[in-house]
Amino acid sequence: MNTSEYKETESYKVDIEYLDFIQQAIEDEISNYVITEAENLWDTDEDRIYRALTFNRGMRYCKVVITPECFIKATVNKAPSSLITDICNILICCLYDMK
C-alpha cells in the first residue's frame, strides 16, 4: 500500500467521503481509545483507498485498516477484541446510514 499514488477520480472522492464519515462515527462512539493518527493508504493491487487508524489506550497502540465499504481490511499490533467489536458495531451502523 502506498500513500503517494492516489488517483483523483470521482470514485476516489466518494471513497474519501465515506472514510471520513466512518472515522467521525468511530471518534464519536469510542471513548476508551484515542485515534492518534489517521492515514489514507492506496492499494495498487486492488486500485483502492483505505484508512489506517492508530488507536491508543495507555501505553498500548494498535492500528486498524478500514475500507469505504465498512470492512476491516487489517489489524496491526494485536488489536483488543473489545475494540474490534466496537468498531464492527459502528461499521454496521455506518453501513445502514450510508445506504
* CATH at residue 72: 3.10.450
Residue 4: the pLDDT is 46
Q: What is the pLDDT of residues 34-50, one digit of tens each?
A: 999 999 999 888 888 99
The confidence score (pLDDT) of residue 11 equals 78
Instruction: State the angle between helix axes of 10-29 and 81-98 in degrees (0 to 180), rounded to the nearest 10.
Output: 130
Query: Domain for residue 4, yes or no?
Result: no
89 lies in some domain: yes
Q: What is the value of pTM for the model shown?
A: 0.86
Q: Total structural domains in the chain? A: 1
Task: Strands of 1-99 (E only): list them.
Answer: 34-43, 48-57, 60-66, 72-76
What is the span of the domain harbouring residue 62?
Answer: 10-98
Residue 3 lies in a domain: no
Which positions of the chain have pLDDT values less than 50? 1-2, 4
The predicted structure's pLDDT at residue 12: 84
